[in-house]
Structure 1
Amino acid sequence: MQEKPSDPHPLSDLAYDWITLMQNKAQALLAYDQYIKDAEAAGSPECAAFFRKVHDADKAQLAEAKEHLVMVLQGKMGAGGKK
């Protein structure tokens, strides 16, 4: 990825999208932690188990997204315009 010095947005749209997705997943993980605590406090192990399942899926997706972002930033995946 080559940047133009005068370009006010040095990230490609694709890189920006991955970063945004990762931020949203990271925020969701924090929310799920609270949901798990709330379900446990309410005496609902079934709900807590479901929230853990969703948490684990998002955590795995976040790890995969990180790999994709690295490849995009290294120019090994995607090409195109800047954001």
Structure 2
Amino acid sequence: MKETSSDPHPLSDLAYDWITLIQNKAQALIAYDQYIKDAEAAKSPECAAFFRKVHDADKAFLAEAKHHLVAVLQGKMGTGAK
């Protein structure tokens, strides 16, 4: 999906990739919340703790990914930007 004047796609491949990654991470966070509830219901604090750890790591990755997407959309990253 390269962005050109004749291309009907308004996003570069790189911007699309970041948006897709952000969507996937956001959906994963919702799933992890359910996994934590399931582990708590099963009285498994070890599993709940692990799911929280994964949730927190993905939440941090999501925040970083948003910064990258903004930079790509502003032309500060990608397409040879410096």
Q: Do both share a fold (TM > 0.5)?
A: yes
Where in structure 2 are there 5+ consecutive unaligned residues? Answer: none
Deviating 4+ runs (over 6 angstroms)? none
Percent of matched pairs sharing the same residue: 87
What count of residue pairs does the alignment treat as equivalent? 78
- Which amino acid in structure 2 is aligned with residue 69 of structure 1? L
Q: TM-score, normalised by structure 2?
A: 0.90
Q: Could you tell me which residue of structure 1 aligns to residue 64 of structure 2?
A: 64
Point out which structure has higher relative CO (alpha carbons under 8 A, 6+ apart): 1
Question: What's the Cα RMSD here?
Answer: 1.4
Q: Could you tell me which residue of structure 1 aligns to residue 20 of structure 2?
A: 20
Q: Could you give the per-residue CA deviations for residues 19-76 of structure 1, whole angstroms, max 9, x where no partner exists?
A: 0000000000000000000000000000000000000000000000000000000000
Quote the Cα distance in structure 2 between the aligned partners of 1:22 and 1:33. Answer: 17
Quote the Cα distance in structure 1 between the aligned partners of 2:13 and 2:7. Answer: 13
